[in-house]
Structure 1
């Protein structure tokens, strides 16, 4: 599905205040066409959890006025209606079964009146306009639908196709038929392993409706794990939750990991439970292995959310379960490594594993953290083309599921950001968002990246980022202050950006452990670090952040010796985005000191680098600044306080009294008035002013005032 088409529809839904996850919109477009009015009308009829992708869409979709009016004049014979209805109810679009159902040849069918409503090509048959399928099922009586299902059941029995036969028998039956359920569960498992999680959920849920006791529990298990594999967190929580406390222990243990994933996404964290209550009773290795996998999921989920205490507890449970099943090397070791890495631990032992999660994704993150982002991307690419398709003990049976695919896509986008390919990262995120539940991995990291990438490229949030944000469950609401700061900074509203960043710092500077570049430019820092938090990023990302901190935090006197070192270190940065931002800050600092030539050169270099990175909004902001240097015009409106930026910068360089004296001097007050205002002697004012001159490397009151207004112009 093209992201451009989805964005057009999303814009209409956002206009109508209908939050809808991008991949849900893509599914609606497939079923309804890209008509924004029809999609919006259907979205209005859906539950919030369905629009957010937390529960599957209803089948069939509700009939809405635009679709009803579209086919209001369609007059069908009983035979043609039944054939079209059969085409809308079968599990696939093979032409053969439809020809047998109708009785006419493909040629005669295409020449008949019904032919214009069908697409017959290369052995396939489908309804040309998917909205017709919705209209057909909504306007057909229940008895007519059952009759078509019964005919299809008999047809597939005669063809010896048990899967389709069981499905249509289940849909035609008005009473429970346990014989049908076993076949549907078997097929649902096969679909899960093939990555067809949505189809697997539908089959298993149908099986659960036709069974009781242990058979029903087995069907619920398959349906529940397929639901979370598809990203349906609400459906998974409800389905798997139904297994507790009465289902067989082994069934409960197999469903526990999926239940943890669902609840963590919906509630913001793994439920606090006594492991002794849930772990197996007895020595059955199969039960202990199922327990170990559930503990593995819980540990990684805790790590994603920064819950190190919970992570340690679940890792202990993982070790206990693995020891009882000899699964230390295949399950315990790679999961322990993954959990600690996600939690922010850079010290890790080398562990070799296979599959998409504890294999490709873990190794890719490690390669990037060790400084080789390109190798990390190559590792992901090998897995994407199937060359590394192996069983992953952590997610065995779900290697091809949408949820695992979302983890891989989010990891790839993160590595592209770390490499500085901002434009490419945004396009990859847009494509992933319309296909996969990208809000689930790493506690909403995909949403953070989608927002930050839109701001870097567009300067504002696009429809995909807005939709992803709105579709997040409340406990996973991400901190938006940094995004507001970035948007304000790029629009030239530095004071607003600084305020947002100060509020963010006051809240403890929350950010993902897997670092997504924020905004160091708007905050003046002291002590060489903005916060103390375990974070994971490549060495180059760390260096770029350190350089930006050095540029903003050192005094004018220190900058004289620091500048050549910072310039030399910036040249070692290979990421055009990281270096571009550092070069921009060097240029700004040069302009403040009055070195217009150096400032212009660094800003021009920054613009070129940011354009190369695809960070168009950042590049435009630098272009505006360069234009102001050339024209000498102030970039902001006359209503803006020209000394606001100066206050922000000097507060970290001067003592409180020195700062008061400096600002009063800049405002034009003589020493005697300053002394009176501060209730000190004129001599004390002169002493403080002398210290200000020394720290800011100026010699006169005029030079101090000029410096203050330069800061206001360029910061």
Structure 2
């Protein structure tokens, strides 16, 4: 049975880039007899499917193929217009918005397996002709190269030149496919390896890590020397940075930089900047500084890039005052040149610089623009990274709903691009958001996912964020001892300390938990370190948090003034959540000082702040404190719980959650003896004889209140 593609194949189209030495091919080759498509498809439908699959080989990331190109090729070999309707009716493909999409991912493999090589080459010749006269030479050259029989060095050179062109039309996936085809036509083995390495790099940028690794393996990365080996190591290190142990990635990237220094300084610099990123993810500040400082300076290099390196180097060496002017230059210079559109890498560096400076608004602008550019023009691999930076910045600014939206989008994108390390960071951010929104189960789910990858790949940043999220969830539930135990190692000195860029952000949580569990000296030590960090201006919330921490550690004569100072500093920056936490602690202090009227005002303000920011778990704490002042409000107890006093009700709820008497005492700032006294009265009032019975009764009553 002969297929329709083999019947009327037109002559080879003219090469738009000039003459090449492709071997001669007959104008109308005759395909060998045999099947032309998957089992159950007719000749015409199989021919159309082969054209769709062959066109799809140009861009593995594309959402379908251009229907007009495929239909021109189909018409040139006598396939009628009805063949598309037949294939669509059979459930093989769908025409939507001018694009043809295969409905079964495995169909492409079946089509390739069923079509003999000669018929596949004929399909590519038809598609080359269909693309002739278009805006880009690359599709024509790609299909001609796919139809050629190697070696064809002239055609390979023309295709490689088109793949390397600065023309912005081809995607990274298209360029990768073109480099790979050009490599197959090369005679020289080193040239073949270079083209395969370039193909691998473009596949990496397209978010196709498996293809990138396969292409590197075909290149034989271990054999070439010098710059060729360095280029292969650079791609390998960047792939490991996306999904692998980051310490290993850093070493490979530094080796790549050494190999590339003499012949390719720009790529050597790219390798060192990636090594900085790997060191940052690992939480190794000294390695960050070392990678920033290495390498010769380049005359005429990008001044903003030079300023970024100088500024970040100063910060990593513990000289933030020295580094700030350079980092401000980076932030101010991004996107300001007339007629010049910064790439996403430049914008992401500006966003990093802004975060280090504590300018969260500038960081959001730069990272938002980086995301827009990466989505519009690529590289695809930077989309998840831009979303992670945006989510982290929104988290720092206290906009948790926005942080969640970016992180959820980033998690999907990272998973689709094989970026497990970035996916772990997105999980950690989502755990932190959940610790505010009041879902312990969601915190545990995302923290566990982050920690699983962080442990295997050495991601100190993701591990620290996830532990902070778990501790903050403990704080929201009043589990103070657990929160202090989690955060103590992260904010203190020693080998178990947290990531250098995050440990001070978590310090206020530790101080609160430590003070309320009697660990006063540890809290004072953390406050001293936090005060030094706050002076650097890297976090707009830090001055208010510092005053709050000092209030927790002060005596009655200074406490109220420090809480008031904290609230005044909160008024200078946005962020409902942190302001609500200060109001909650202030209100609880006023209640314990037997000033219920003043306490209610602060606690109501805290409740409004938490509800406005979606901090449901913390809102529950504010409501409980309000009840303890005698304030009646929504969510009041139902059934037998109405027999309890506000303090008895709080103790009953804590015990129902599984807290011990000592934990309840710490949570409510009373003595264990007081808890024991109230609990005996609770048992008597409710007619229960055990903590298990009490838990069941409270659970039933709470459900009745929630669902009357």
| TM-score normalised over the length of structure 2 | 0.67
Which of 457, 461, 465 pairs up with 2:437? 457
Greater alpha carbon shift after TM alignment, 636-645 vs 112-121: 112-121
Offset at 1:180?
Answer: 5.9
- SS for the counterpart of 2:541 is helix
Confirm or deny: 8 A CA contact 2:253 2:272 kept in the other structure. Answer: no
Q: Per the alignment, do residues 202 and 595 of structure 1 end up closer, same or farther by CA in structure 2, a change over 3 Å counting?
A: farther
**2:258 aligned residue:** 279
- The yes-or-no answer on 1:149 pairing with 2:120 is yes
Alpha-carbon distance in 2 for matches of 1:433, 1:145: 41
Offset at 1:510?
Answer: 0.6
Offset at 1:560?
Answer: 4.9
- The yes-or-no answer on 1:637 pairing with 2:655 is yes
Q: Per the alignment, do residues 223 and 83 of structure 1 end up closer, same or farther by CA in structure 2, a change over 3 Å counting?
A: same
**2:13 aligned residue:** none
Alpha-carbon distance in 2 for matches of 1:99, 1:422: 49
Which of 82, 85, 94 pairs up with 2:47? 82
**2:12 aligned residue:** none
Q: Per the alignment, do residues 331 and 562 of structure 1 end up closer, same or farther by CA in structure 2, a change over 3 Å counting?
A: closer
- The yes-or-no answer on 1:218 pairing with 2:183 is no
Confirm or deny: 8 A CA contact 1:368 1:415 kept in the other structure. Answer: yes
Alignment of 1:281-430 (within 5 A): 287-318=264-295, 320=296, 322-323=297-298, 325-327=299-301, 329=303, 331-338=305-312, 340=314, 346-347=320-321, 348=323, 349-350=325-326, 351-352=329-330, 353-354=333-334, 355-356=342-343, 359-367=346-354, 370=357, 372-382=359-369, 400-430=378-408
- SS for the counterpart of 1:119 is strand
Offset at 1:267?
Answer: 1.9
Alpha-carbon distance in 1 for matches of 2:595, 2:175: 66
- SS for the counterpart of 2:654 is coil
**1:481 aligned residue:** 467
Offset at 1:586?
Answer: 1.7
Alpha-carbon distance in 2 for matches of 1:615, 1:356: 37
- The yes-or-no answer on 1:434 pairing with 2:412 is yes
**1:545 aligned residue:** 545
- SS for the counterpart of 1:540 is coil
| TM-score normalised over the length of structure 1 | 0.66
Which of 52, 64, 70 pairs up with 1:98? 70
Alpha-carbon distance in 2 for matches of 1:315, 1:508: 25
Confirm or deny: 8 A CA contact 2:527 2:550 kept in the other structure. Answer: no
Deviation per residue, 1:188-236 (Å, 9 max, x gap)? 5469966833444444445545545122222232133224434566765
Which of 526, 529, 536 pairs up with 1:529? 526
Alpha-carbon distance in 2 for matches of 1:294, 1:358: 13
**1:601 aligned residue:** 601
Deviation per residue, 1:535-571 (Å, 9 max, x gap)? 9874422224313422433344542553443343344
* RMSD (Å), alpha carbons: 4.5
Alpha-carbon distance in 2 for matches of 1:147, 1:609: 70
Alpha-carbon distance in 1 for matches of 2:317, 2:502: 9
Q: Which has the higher contact order (CA 8 A, sep 6+)?
A: 1
Confirm or deny: 8 A CA contact 2:391 2:403 kept in the other structure. Answer: yes
Confirm or deny: 8 A CA contact 1:94 1:123 kept in the other structure. Answer: yes
Structure 2, unpaired ranges of 5+: 1-37, 57-63, 335-341, 516-521, 632-645, 678-708
Q: Per the alignment, do residues 511 and 598 of structure 1 end up closer, same or farther by CA in structure 2, a change over 3 Å counting?
A: farther
Structure 1, unpaired ranges of 5+: 1-71, 390-397, 652-661, 669-715
**2:706 aligned residue:** none
